Amino acid sequence: GDGGGRPLPPLLQQQPANPEVVKIETRYRSDNNRSDNHHHYQQQQHEELILDNSNINDYTLGKTLGTGSFGRVRFVTYNNNGKHYALKILKKASIIKLKQVDHIISEKNILRMINHPNIVNLYGSFQDNKYLYLAMEYVNGGEFFSHLRKAGRFNNDISRFYAAQIVSIFEYLHNKDIIYRDLKPENILLLPDGY
């Protein structure tokens, strides 16, 4: 059916060719071939080993991508290889004050164990005296919320398309006995092409 209202942003005007799309803030990617996924998983594990042994001085800090109750997410470049990441910088004092230590440890452990094409990857974690750092995959297409706000609303085909991706993610997580309790348009990230 038609979406009516204002036209869709250019990145969503055409039906995406690849059905592996939505990226949810806390972890999502897109490859469909098993051998590619296995290769990617091995590469991710290698990258984790490197980034787990890094420190904040190994990164060039860029703009702030977002803020939350415990800290902020910054765009960073890892100086040793020039790769870009979204670095979640969490204040230890805030985590302790808000009694969220177990929650943060659980989040990190869950991110390490999951491997889904639409879930943003955790590439490493480290800490210093004041902060915990999570080096995440950088997804540069913006929040789903921003695209939805610009469009006003999506037509039925696009709505079904994104809903199917979200259901796929939840099915994967629930099969691993993981419940994600913070689904909202601001926590869904897209690539520049709308995936």
Residues contributing to the annotated binding site: 97
Binding-site residue numbers for ATP are 97
Residue 122: how many other CB atoms lie within 10 Å: 25
Q: Is there a contact between 90 and 73 (Cβ–Cβ < 8 Å)?
A: no
- Eight-state DSSP code of residue 187: G
- Extract the tokens encoding 127: 């800490």
Three-state SS sequence of 95-116 = HHHCCCHHHHHHHHHHHHHCCC
> What is the arrangement of strands in the sheet containing 122-127, beginning at the earlier edge strand?
59-67, 71-78, 84-91, 131-137, 122-127
Helix (H, G, I), strand (E, B) or coil at 189: strand
Active-site amino acid positions: 182
